[in-house]
């Protein structure tokens, strides 16, 4: 039974990443917790991952607030191109 | 006339939808020139296939569906560039240590993490530099999932990938980003 729950650091960090988006399954969370009991490196990764997720969240909010627009010239060029292709 | 036959108004497309489509594209590809090209291709494809417009969806929805196909085509193109997809992994990939941390990539202590977390332009710039260093397909998936916060299902549908594929890419992107931020921000 426990053999099924044993995972590598690669798998543990994959689950840890998935968990940052709250999308890890219960089974995966259990496997991750068991791995974190025996692996200090992955504990450190996990803590740092949470720090990074907070940074990404702040960056995400900033990016979402920026609205991108085409310049007037870009729009004029596009209009000319469409006109040409309509004929 | 196209507009009379199909209810489309191509002469209004630029004013009505260009900014919306450009914004939609740039949130996925994060490259202004590429976004402009994709929007342009979308309008041209729209003109070409105007006869297929049945009026079941709005003009904007119909143009967005064309744009989504253009984005998938772009994603498939970058996905097929195998050399670009190769990444330096942080784990042994064979032998008895398979799946364990490579010694040189073991996470370092971030003693100054709390004071370095301050939201500022310098940090955002460093983060952007690190994201831009990722292979293009990883950067694209990472931006859609983490920056734009799209649902997993939506990204998989848009890019035609499986969810396990997506999580592998997210994991690789985050592992590389962590290393890049560690080297250039936290331990700098």
- The answer to whether A9 contacts B91, with C-beta atoms less than 8 Å apart, is yes
More confident residue, B32 or A1: B32
Record: contact B43-A82, CB cut-off 8 A: yes
Q: What is the CATH number of domain B2-79?
A: 1.10.1740
Segment among B35-44, B101-110, B129-138, B164-173 with least mean pLDDT: B101-110
Q: Is the pLDDT of residue B82 over 90?
A: no
Segment among A29-38, B24-33, B89-98 with least mean pLDDT: B89-98
Cα torsion at B148, B153, B158, B159 (round to 10°)? 100
Classified by CATH at the fold level, domain B83-186 comes out as Arc Repressor Mutant, subunit A (1.10.10)
Question: For B105, what's the count of Cα atoms within 13 Å in the CB-facing half-sphere?
Answer: 18
Closest-CA residue to B143 (of B176, B164, B170, B162)? B170
The pair of three-digit structure tokens given for residue B13, joined into one six-digit string: 């497309």
Among the partner-chain residues B18, B27, B106, the one whose CB lies closest to the CB of A75 is B18
State the residue range of the domain holding A63: 2-86
Q: What is the pLDDT of residue B85?
A: 47
Query: How many Å apart are CA B141 and CA B135, to the nearest integer?
Result: 10
Q: What is the mean pLDDT of chain B?
A: 85
Subunit contact B99:A49, Cβ cutoff 8 A: no
- Percentage of residues in chain B with pLDDT exceeding 70? 87
**Between A and B, how many residue pairs show a Cβ–Cβ distance under 8 A?**
117
Q: In chain A, how many domains are there? A: 1
Interface-testing mutation among B98, B107, B150, with chain A (most A C-beta atoms within 10 A): B107
Lowest mean pLDDT among A11-25, B97-111, B174-188: B97-111
More confident residue, B29 or B120: B29
List the single residue in A with minimal CA-CA distance to B182: A48
Which of B27, B47, B106 lies closest to A82 in CB terms? Answer: B47
- Predicted ipTM of the assembly: 0.84
pLDDT at B41 > cutoff 90:
yes
Contact A52 B174 (CB under 8 A): yes
Question: Taken in order A48, A64, B37, B127, is the CA torsion positive or negative?
Answer: negative
* pLDDT higher than 70, residue A12: yes
**CA separation for the pair B160, B75 (Å, rounded):** 9
Cβ proximity of A16 and A43 under 8 Å: no
Instruction: Tell me the domain boundaries of chain B.
Output: 2-79, 83-186
């Amino acid at each position: 039974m426990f053999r099924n729950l044993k995972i590598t650091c690669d798998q543990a960090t994959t689950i840890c990443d998935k968990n940052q988006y709250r999308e890890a399954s219960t089974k995966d969370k259990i496997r991750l917790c068991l791995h974190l009991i025996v692996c200090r490196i992955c504990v450190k990764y996990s803590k740092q991952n949470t720090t990074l997720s907070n940074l990404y969240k702040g960056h995400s909010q900033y990016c979402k607030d920026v609205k991108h627009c085409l310049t007037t010239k870009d729009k004029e060029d596009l209009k000319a191109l469409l006109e040409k292709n309509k004929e | 006339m196209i507009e009379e036959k199909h209810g489309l108004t191509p002469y209004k497309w630029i004013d009505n939808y260009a900014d919306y489509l450009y914004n939609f594209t740039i949130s996925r590809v994060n490259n202004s020139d590429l976004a402009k090209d994709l929007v342009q291709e979308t309008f041209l494809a729209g003109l070409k296939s105007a006869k297929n417009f049945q009026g079941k969806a709005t003009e904007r929805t119909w143009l967005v569906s064309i744009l989504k196909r253009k984005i998938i085509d772009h994603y498939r193109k970058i996905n097929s560039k195998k050399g670009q997809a190769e990444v330096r992994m942080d784990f042994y990939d064979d032998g008895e240590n398979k799946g364990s941390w490579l010694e040189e990539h073991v996470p370092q202590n971030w003693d100054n993490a709390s004071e370095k977390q301050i939201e500022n332009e310098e940090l955002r710039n460093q983060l952007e530099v690190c994201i831009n260093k990722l292979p293009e397909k990883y950067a694209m998936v990472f931006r859609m999932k983490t920056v734009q916060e799209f649902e997993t299902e939506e990204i998989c549908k848009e890019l035609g990938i499986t969810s396990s594929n997506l999580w592998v890419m997210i994991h690789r992107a985050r592992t590389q980003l962590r290393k890049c931020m560690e080297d250039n921000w936290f331990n700098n």
